Amino acid sequence: MDPVGRTVLVISAVLVLAPLLGRAFRPWVAIPVVVFELVLGIAAGPSVLDWVGPSDELAMLSQFGVGLLFFMAGNEIDPTAIRGKRGRRAWGGWLLSFVLGFGVGYAIEPGLGAVIIAIALSSTALGTLLPILRDSGNLTTPFGLSMSAVGAVGEFGPIIAISLLLGGHKPDVALVILIVFGVIASTVIWLTGRLPRGQLHRFVESTLHTSGQFGVRLVVAILLSLIVASVVLGVDTLLGAFTAGIVWRALIRDADPATQEAVESKIEGLAFGFGVPIFFIATGIGFDLDALTSEPLNLLLVVGVALLLLVVRGIPSSLAAPDGASRRMRAAVGVMGATGLPIIIVATESGVSLDLISTTTATVLVGAGMLSVLLFPLLAESLRRRDEASRVESAPPETH
């Protein structure tokens, strides 16, 4: 069988097997399905079974997947999440994380390599955490709102840093370009919020169960258009994808709730049923496991960097915890905020391609990100549940 056919078959098998494994493990531990996608990708890749390897076709699908991941992150974000007191705390926490990360990075890779490490260590995997929060029913709770702020800033801030510092332009030129993109994006969002959308919503609704599927097609058009705009202007494509999600949210905001839910379900099916998993599977396939196993010290470094994420990203993230939060709740917000992977993957890939960091450094960072996705949400959920239980126990008994 030719390599392309074998890649299609392997990816198809992993797409089906990953959620089945997640369901099989759920009675004992709730492991995010992304962990299985990564592990199965590693197993199928050159480092283990060598059934498939990186290819241009897989890279293209992976780029589409990461675009959908950041589109979903932008679509889920309530603009008020990054404004007000909670938003200011989240931004302050991220800036502190970036400074701490830069200090750590400069000790490892002086120069622009330190920026790569700072971006990786100051990121939060919002697109990975949102399905976890939604599935657990915590998305609209005070904890979920705090995580939305931490996650939005933890993805938006690193994307801006990538565009400013790694886009191939001088920082002053990059800043002007970023401002131009911001003005364009803000204008599109502003116009979207003021256009009469009744007819659009009716047309979207009328094609929900036909081959027209206008809502899904419009989403893809917005996503691709803003990605192309970001490429033309020279900013990172993730910023275009993130902005596209915000634009779509503004467009569909006033639609009938049933219509919103139906379209959202279709978009989630496209994103989390196809595009996003391929991004993580491709990451697993390209993961250099030999760089870790050939040197035992590197395995220890993965654990060390995961713990470093708790300090560099976790402690500052806890600043955005709900008002009056207990120590456990603040710890839960911090641990969840330290969960990072997509930005780590993107930043380290850029760092390796620009010869700013070594392949080993990139592998250790990505490995730590994988470990954070596996462990941190579980730890955060345990802390949050213990906090709820302690509050229930300490609540005064009801009187009749």
From CA 118, how far away is CA 269, in angstroms rounded?
33
Q: How confident is the model at residue 234 (pLDDT cuts 50, 70, 90)?
A: confident
Reported as a single tens digit per residue, the pLDDT across 31-64 is 888 889 999 999 999 989 999 998 888 988 998 9
Residues 6+ apart with CB under 8 A from 373: 32, 34, 35, 38, 125, 128, 339, 341
Handedness of CA 93, 94, 99, 104 (dihedral sign): positive
Residue linked to tokens 């498939």: 52
pLDDT beyond 70 at 396: no
DSSP state of 398: P
Whole-prediction pTM value? 0.86
Residue found under tokens 């490429």: 231
Name every residue whose Cβ is closer than 8 Å to that of residue 210 and which is 6 or more positions away in sequence.
Answer: none
User: pLDDT digits over 170-200, tens only?
Assistant: 766 777 777 777 787 777 767 766 666 677 7
Closest listed residue to residue 381, CA positions, set 149, 153, 136? 136
Q: Are 264 and 36 in contact (CB under 8 A)?
A: no
Which residue, chain included where needed, has tokens 């990953």? 18
DSSP run (H or E) holding 242: helix 237-252
The string of pLDDT tens digits covering residues 361-388 is: 999 999 999 999 989 998 998 898 888 8
Which residues, at least 6 apart from 96, have a Cβ–Cβ distance to it below 8 Å? Answer: 316, 319
Q: Which amino acid is at 325?
A: A
**Collapsing DSSP states into helix, strand and coil, what is residue 124?**
coil
d(CA 279, CA 34): 10
pLDDT-based confidence at residue 98 (cuts at 50, 70, 90) = very high
pLDDT at res. 81:
64
The answer to whether the beta carbons of residues 111 and 326 sit under 8 Å apart is no
pLDDT in the model for residue 26: 85
Residue of 239, 253, 320, 288 lying closest to 70 (CA atoms) = 239
Q: Which helix (H) or strand (E) holds 2?
A: none
Q: How far apart are CA 71 and CA 74, in angstroms?
A: 5
Phi, psi of 29 (to 5 degrees): -155, 140
In CATH terms, 3-390 corresponds, of 3.40.710.10, 1.20.1530.20, 3.90.79.10, 1.20.1260.10, to: 1.20.1530.20
- Distance from C-alpha of 132 to C-alpha of 147, rounded to nearest angstrom: 11
Range of lowest pLDDT (112-121, 190-199, 207-216, 329-338)? 190-199
What pLDDT was estimated at residue 168?
63
Residues recorded for the chain: 400
Range with top average pLDDT, 65-79, 199-213, 228-242, 272-286: 272-286
**CB 373 within 8 Å of CB 332:** no
Residue with tokens 């050159």: 46
**Residues 6+ away with beta carbon under 8 Å from 43:** 49, 284
Q: Is 255 left (phi over 0), alpha (psi -120 to 50) or beta?
A: beta
3-class secondary structure, 326: coil
DSSP letters along 246-288, please? HHHHHHHTTS-HHHHHHHHHHHHHHIIIIIHHHHHHHHHHH--
CA distance 391 to 369: 32
Q: How far is CA 372 from the centre of its chain?
A: 13
Interatomic CA distance for residues 386 and 13, integer angstroms: 38
Per the CB < 8 A criterion, the answer to whether 223 and 68 are in contact is yes
Rounded CA gap, 76 and 118, in Å? 25
